[in-house]
Amino acid sequence: MTQTPYYFYDLDLLNETLSCLESNIKGTNFKVHYAVKANNNRDILETISKKGLGADCVSGGEIRWSLESGFSPSEIVFAGVGKTDEEILYALENEVGMIHCESLQEILVINELAERLNTYATIALRLNPNVNPLTHEKISTGLKENKFGLTSLEFEELIQLYPSLNNVRIVGLHFHIGSQIHDMSVYVELCDRINELVPLFEEHIGEFTYLNVGGGLGIDYFEPDENPIPEFKEYFEVFKEALTIDPSIPVHFELGRSIVGQCGSLHTKVLYVKRSEEKNFAVLDAGMTELLRPALYNAYHKIERLDNVTSGEELHYDIVGPICESSDCFGRDILLPELKRGDIITIRSCGAYAESMSLNYNGRDKVPSYVHSSSELVMREKC
């Protein structure tokens, strides 16, 4: 039997998701960049780059992986609130398509480094639109209290300084309000803000040729089998309808979770089952080191026994990992067929922010991943 724990990726589902994404933006001037932070597994990156998506990177490492996986430099956007000088130089030397800037100081540094390389940087300003994404507070980014984006104060200062910056060209705006978003009205609100901000940009900065609206579309963690593909249609429809800017300007998206979230799962073994007066515990060989989301955000992931035969007795279990932290718990009072030592458990919807957030805490080694793919591609009806 294969050694557990391991991540398992279904590349058929990934390809199906990508085809659905593609069919929803066909005939528009929408361009999707995959947010590499969601999952940087090489097979996943190569599958996505082959489909012609761009990449959204937040470090020099992610830029390197993207280049090695076949993404073209001009289709890479480089974001992040704290880019180091080395990372900026690396991005400029590799001629990435766009740098998203989040502070005035960062823009000044980029200008200086571009001058040193005798080049210029094409940049977009990340503005904080102060839109509530109606999601978990730890994955909200578009509110005033969040650290992301230029503040209005800095935007005003930039307007004064811009004529003296000879090595940066500011061509547009970038936004990202948060992650795991289901309420589409939030994106309508974002579009309304964009519609107000673009004329301001044109008035004070110059020609507006680039818009990036970020990512954030949510997935169904509760029913991954019923809803393996996210609501791309509804999502893109919002931007088609609510943006009033010149329709010839390309609109860029940075989707991570919605592309890869459902194609992965974490397979892990029951090490021990123990009973107390109050409850049963199933102790697994995977823990928060392999899937941090439940410990960090109280996130729900569906938990199943791999051979989900329910004919026997069903019992409630707290499903916990081996790490020396009480927060190392994947779910409480989960109803499962009776578990015994050696049973394989599948934790679903682990394609995004599981492997890429894995840790070595407690002296644990990183675990392997396996991919499955067949050549057959089935398109679902809703696409």
Binding site for ligand LLP (CB under 6 A): 35, 37-38, 56, 79, 139, 141, 176, 179-180, 214-217, 254-258, 293, 352-353
Q: Quote the crossing angle between the two packed helices 232-242 and 185-204, to the nearest 10°.
A: 40
**Minimum CB–partner distance for residue 349 and ligand LLP (Å):** 10
Three-class DSSP labels, 133-174: CCCCHHHECCCCCCCCCECHHHHHHHHHHHHHCCCEEEEEEE
For ligand LLP, which is the closer residue by CB, 104 or 217? Answer: 217
**Minimum CB–partner distance for residue 275 and ligand LLP (Å):** 32
Query: Distance between alpha carbon 9 and the CA centroid of its chain, in Å?
Result: 16
For ligand LLP, which is the closer residue by CB, 255 or 339? Answer: 255
**Minimum CB–partner distance for residue 217 and ligand LLP (Å):** 6
The sign of the torsion formed by the CA atoms of 201, 203, 205, 209 equals: positive
Tokens of 307: 């051979």
For ligand LLP, which is the closer residue by CB, 92 or 217? Answer: 217
In angstroms, the CA 315 to CA 295 distance is 23
**Minimum CB–partner distance for residue 236 and ligand LLP (Å):** 13
69, 39 Cβ separation under 8 angstroms:
no
Q: Which amino acid belongs to residue 303?
A: I
Residue 208: half-sphere exposure toward Cβ, Cα within 13 Å: 22
**Minimum CB–partner distance for residue 354 and ligand LLP (Å):** 8
For ligand LLP, which is the closer residue by CB, 170 or 291? Answer: 291
In angstroms, the CA 217 to CA 240 distance is 16
**Minimum CB–partner distance for residue 310 and ligand LLP (Å):** 30
For ligand LLP, which is the closer residue by CB, 270 or 352? Answer: 352
Phi, psi of 285 (to 5 degrees): -90, -5
For ligand LLP, which is the closer residue by CB, 147 or 316? Answer: 147
Strands 210-212 and 264-275: unpaired
